[in-house]
Each structure stands twice: as C-alpha cells, then as structure tokens.
Amino acid sequence: MGELQLGVTTVTMGRLKDLVDTSYKIAVEKGWHEESRSISALTLLMQSEVAEVIEEYRKHKGVGEIWYEVHHDADGCHFSMKGEPGDKPCGIPVEIADFVIRVADYCGKCSIDLEANYEKTPVPDQTIDFEECLARINYAVSQAWAVAVPGTEFWLAMAVKYAFRMADAYDIVLWDVIDEKTAFNRTRPYRHGGKRI
C-alpha cells in the first residue's frame, strides 16, 4: 500500500457525542446491554473490527471500496456494488466505521466523553503505512483494556483519531460511512440473530 500521511482531521463539535448516544441507544434496543458484558469482551469486539479491516486488506480489496451484501441463501452470500435499503454495507471503510461505532457504544455504556477526549488527544503528524496505522489502532485498544479509567478514554480517543486520520488519508468520508452503517444497524435483528457477545 505504501505510506500515508496522517493529515489533520476535524471532527465537528457534537458529532462524536451524538454518535456515542446513538450507538449506545441502538445497542440497548438490540439487546446488547441486557446482560453484563465484560470490558474484555467489549474491547475484543473493537479489535475484531480491526481484524476485519485486515482481512479485507489481505484479500486485496480497495481501501475505499464499498459493496453490499444483498442476501443469504443456500448458495451463500450475494453481493452488489449498488446498495438498496436493507442491504448490508461491506468493505474496509465500513469496517473502520464499525470500529468507531463499537468505541462509541463502549463510551456510551461507560459514560466516557469521547468527543472531549478526542479534541485533547494528540496524534503525531507523521508518515506511516496502512498496516502500521492499523497496528497503532489495535495497540491503543489493547491499552484501553489494560489500564484503569481515566487512562481508558485517552487510548480510545487516540484509536478513533487514528481511524479518522487513516480514512482522511484515503479520501474516505468516514462520517458518511458511519451514518450508512448506523442506519443499517437500526434494521438488524435482536442480538443480530442470537450472537453470544
């Protein structure tokens, strides 16, 4: 992939706060907070989104490419490049959006002000490659799990800042993708059809 320059990404005041509120509300409505889930489980779910980015990258998917899962049947999944209402968006930009949504849900559950922490969390402007950026996101999440609050919010904000900056470097309008995936999440069944965590 080569190197990418992490540029300055501005997050409009109120957007992250709204995302935290919305993501947590949807998770509650879908049954994800009816039973206690450990901090370990919640951070592993964040890391699973990073792993999904890596899997799409390994398959040589374009960093900005989005496609849609139309439906499942006996023959497997069927995909389209043009999404219709109810189709599941897929691809690297969507997995990055899923990561940010997972962090936002966690912040809602734990009453963490993600936006305030995002604004004050520095991320060095330096040139790194795609893989290193993902590794840094994953590292920040692992630190969020390992340290006690108040350190958690610093590491989560840093991970989100890296996600937005990586998206910016590849001309992904991450807020648009987050909005699209959030809309899809509203249509999903209770606990996504019975998943454990």
SS3 5: strand
Query: Please, which pLDDT band fits residue 151 given cuts at 50, 70 and 90?
Result: confident
Task: Give the pLDDT confidence of 58-90 residue by residue, as tens digits.
Answer: 999 999 999 898 766 666 666 666 667 778 899
pLDDT at 126 (0 to 100): 67
Kindly report the pTM of this predicted structure. Answer: 0.89
Quickly list DSSP for 55-104: HHHHTT--TT--EEEEEEETTEEEEESS--TTPEEESHHHHHHHHHHHHH
**Which residue bears the tokens 């792993």?**
51
pLDDT tens profile 132-146: 999 999 999 999 888
Q: Residue 32 has what pLDDT?
A: 92
Instruction: Band the pLDDT of 124: cuts 50, 70, 90.
Output: low
Q: Say what the pLDDT of residue 8 is.
A: 46
Which pLDDT tens digit goes with each residue over 30-61? 999 988 888 888 999 999 999 999 999 999 99
Instruction: State the pLDDT at residue 123.
Output: 72
